[in-house]
Structure 1
Amino acid sequence: MYACLHKYLRPCLLLLAPALLVVACSRIDLAYRNLDVLVPWSLNDYLDMNRQQKTWLNQRLKQHLAWHCRTQLPGYLTWIDEVRQMVADDQVTDAQLQLRTQEAKQAIAKVADQITPSAAQLLSAMDDDQVREMRQAFSDDIRERQAKFVKTPLARQIEARSERMEKRLTPWLGELTAQQQLRIVTWSQSLGEQNRQWIANRANWQAHFSGLMEQRKSANFEPQLEQLLKNRESLWTPEYRVAYQRTEQAARQLLVDLIAQSTPQQRQHLEQRLSQVQKDLSDLKCLKS
């Protein structure tokens, strides 16, 4: 629950993006009722909330879900249709993907706007023990990610990155061809040691967040929290800023190439999956009511 909002910004958002993330569950209505993208960090991973805090958060989350379904979901349906039409018209180009990505980021910003007051209210009420536990959880998170993604041989990092991308794309395109698999390997190789820059930047953001929590009783807490949640790019390290631009461009080119290499069956499969997601979201009770 409460998975990181920054998942939207992984390369796969270019194809999957906001509404599509909820299809990880076979029951899309169940997935949406537990929609975790309305909270911008893995709260349960880093913070041990007491019963009163959990009850408060669950009630507030229901309100945010109702707002999200009423005001945001219709736009997601349009977004999915535009992606589907882009595939049908053979217009999966770098320019079109940049446009779709920008639309996805705007959707994220709207959610951040909505939830920031709730996040500020919850976090400002945390006691010192909870903040210390959160800081320790941040430290554990970075150590585990470094062990998994950095302290392994570069060849294994590249191989694992290729495997993750294949796993993300296969449900949408079906079984990948040898040519497509090779293109994914080439993409992964081109990113080199980006894992190191990504984790260093993550640690930098967590450090800013931990520092801000020391000021959680101040009047400036909510505006500064808003910057952390909405304007994460302003806190990026210089190395990650360069790496991110390179990574996003490489991801777009990868998808352009994969679609260009796709078979008629794969394109049909993709269109059908997009149409099904659109239908499932359209059928949500919250949207109908």
Structure 2
Amino acid sequence: MRSHRPTVLLLISALCCVVLVATGCSMPTLAYRNAPTLISWRAGSYFDLDPAQRAEFEQRLERVHAWHRREELPRVIATLREARRRTDGEVSLADAKWLVGAVEDHYRKAAARTVDESADLIPTLRPEQFATLERKLADVDEEFVEEWIDASPEEIRDARIERATKRAEEWLGRLDPAQRTWLRSRLDEIPIDYRAARADRLRRQAEFLALLRGDATATRTRMDSTAVVAPLKRWVVDWDHGRSPGELARVARLIRDYSALYVELINGATQEQRDHLRGQVDAYIDALSKQMP
């Protein structure tokens, strides 16, 4: 899990990830078409789902996918087109704020629908599957600590620069030496408290595990399904719930600072780079338009 939500250039990536349901595939048409299978496979790696559970979950995801193609995909494509239009001129922080809101809105709708469709599968999870999930989350946390907390300041700085440069070049094409130097300098002006980010993530993971176990028990005792699903849905769609005022301020500041960085980067891009950016967005629009029902 990332330490902060993506912004500006990254938001276009994030929007595509929402569309592809975070499959990690670089081929939008293939990934979107096969999203239910890919997601059920990923969930299976976290829970060690048995064949029957995986098949049932994939069937539920097929229904979510059909709904998304019918109801949400036209809106996603409209958002991409509007993002494309906004890159024709000077990009502003208001544009970045709009894109943040659009990405979050698309994510929340898809996530909520997925919870509605699949929450009643929670009672089929067995104790050993919860244990598998805990081990997987612990492994992810260990990797995070190794990369972003235990590493030296120089290693962390280099990793941040490498990641930011890679993301920028995915959309703008290759940065020239002056742009790379500028990006390094700007990143140094945006501190990230990785310990605070980890603490927030661990808190949310603990809430998630408690909700899953509680939902499983409650469902088995035939509690009102609405009461069971509502807390889980809130956890999925409301990232800020339960955050302290200090943590809310930290996250908001990080989003604002990264937004400003990427707005400056886009506005300082060469014509060739801006054409590359628009071409990338056009490619996603074209690929996803072919998936319309």
- State whether TM-score is above 0.5: yes
What is the rounded CA distance, in whole Å, between the counterparts of 1:124 and 1:60 in structure 2? 15
What is the rounded CA distance, in whole Å, between the counterparts of 2:279 and 2:205 in structure 1? 40
Aligned counterparts, 1:58-137, within 5 A: 58-88=58-88, 90-137=89-136
* Gap regions ≥5 residues in structure 2: none
Report the aligned-residue RMSD: 2.6
Are the structure 2 counterparts of residues 44 and 164 from structure 1 closer, same or farther at C-alpha, using a change threshold of 3 Å? farther
Are the structure 2 counterparts of residues 34 and 272 from structure 1 closer, same or farther at C-alpha, using a change threshold of 3 Å? same
Contact 1:13 1:101 in 2 (8 A): no
| Structure 1 residue aligned with 2:14 | 17
Q: TM-score, normalised to structure 2's length?
A: 0.86
- What amino acid sits opposite 1:232 in the alignment? W
Contact 2:64 2:117 in 1 (8 A): no
Deviates most, 267-276 or 215-224? 215-224
What is the rounded CA distance, in whole Å, between the counterparts of 1:44 and 1:150 in structure 2? 29
Query: More relative contact order in 1 or in 2 (CA 8 Å, sep 6+)?
Result: 2
In percent, how many aligned pairs have the same letter?
24
Are the structure 2 counterparts of residues 193 and 29 from structure 1 closer, same or farther at C-alpha, using a change threshold of 3 Å? closer
Are the structure 2 counterparts of residues 142 and 232 from structure 1 closer, same or farther at C-alpha, using a change threshold of 3 Å? same
Q: Secondary structure at the match of 1:57?
A: helix
1:266 aligns with 2:262: no
Q: For each residue in 1:140-179, what CA deviation from the matched residue of structure 2 results, as whole angstroms up to 9, or x when unmatched?
A: 3212211121110122212201111111121210111223
Are the structure 2 counterparts of residues 123 and 10 from structure 1 closer, same or farther at C-alpha, using a change threshold of 3 Å? farther
What is the rounded CA distance, in whole Å, between the counterparts of 1:63 and 1:125 in structure 2? 19
Are the structure 2 counterparts of residues 139 and 56 from structure 1 closer, same or farther at C-alpha, using a change threshold of 3 Å? same
Q: How many residues align?
A: 280
Q: Secondary structure at the match of 2:204?
A: helix
- What amino acid sits opposite 1:172 in the alignment? W
| Structure 1 residue aligned with 2:247 | 240
What is the rounded CA distance, in whole Å, between the counterparts of 1:152 and 1:282 in structure 2? 43
In the TM superposition, residue 129 of structure 1 has moved relative to its aligned partner by 1.6
In the TM superposition, residue 237 of structure 1 has moved relative to its aligned partner by 4.6
Aligned counterpart for 1:281 among listed residues 270, 273, 288: 288
Q: Secondary structure at the match of 2:189?
A: helix
In the TM superposition, residue 239 of structure 1 has moved relative to its aligned partner by 4.4
What is the rounded CA distance, in whole Å, between the counterparts of 2:212 and 2:230 in structure 1? 13
What is the rounded CA distance, in whole Å, between the counterparts of 1:135 and 1:17 in structure 2? 26
